[in-house]
Structure formats: C-alpha cells, structure tokens
A = this chain, B = another copy of it.
Amino acid sequence: MLIIVTYDVSTETRAGRRRLRRVAKVCESMGQRVQKSVFECRVDLMQLEQLERRLLAEIDEEEDNLRLYRLTEPVDLHVREYGKFKAINFEEPLII
C-alpha cells in the first residue's frame, strides 16, 4: 500500500528544522520525499506500524501535526501531480 505522510512543523526554529530532517530520514528509508513536508512510503502492514512508531518517536505532539493517509491500489488512479518536482531544493532552507 502507499502511505502519504504529511508533517506540519515550524521550520523557523532550529528544533523544528531538526525534527523535519529526522522525519524525512525515517520516511526516506521507506519511500521518497515528494514535497518539502510530504512523503510517499510504499509499505506493508507491518512496515506501516514500524513507520508510525518511528515517526511518533521523532515528532513533538505538542507542537507538530502529523497525518498518514492510506491510498488504495492501483495508486496511479488516485494520484495526480502538477508543476515542478524540485527534490534538489528540499534541504536548502533546512541547512541554513
């Protein structure tokens, strides 16, 4: 199945940027980053539980918002994309 992970965190603070980097790292180990704070992870049920557990260990539930959306197969039917895919820019505002 495909899980869409969306993560809302303030990147104005160093701690927020750090959490976003760590969330990205977890998601990228199971999928890919498609927007600055949106990730697509292809997982089975056991991996989903693992993904969720690892994400919950990284986020600050008092400050952040994390959503997981489960897409039904065939995924091609359920995703439309427009505009530029700019993977190379994702880290730019985070490194500064």
Contacts and interface: CB of A to CB of B under 8 A. Distances in A.
Given A6-B6, A36-B8, A83 B69 contact: no
A4 interface: yes
Name which of A6, A52, A56, A72 has the most chain B CB atoms within 10 A of its CB: A6
Given A68-B80, A68-B81, A69-B79, 6 more contacts: A8-B83, A60-B83, A66-B82, A67-B82, A70-B78, A72-B72
Interface string A62-77: 1111111111100001
Contacts of A37: 35, 37
Contacts of A4: 4, 6, 69
Contacts of A6: 4, 6, 35, 38
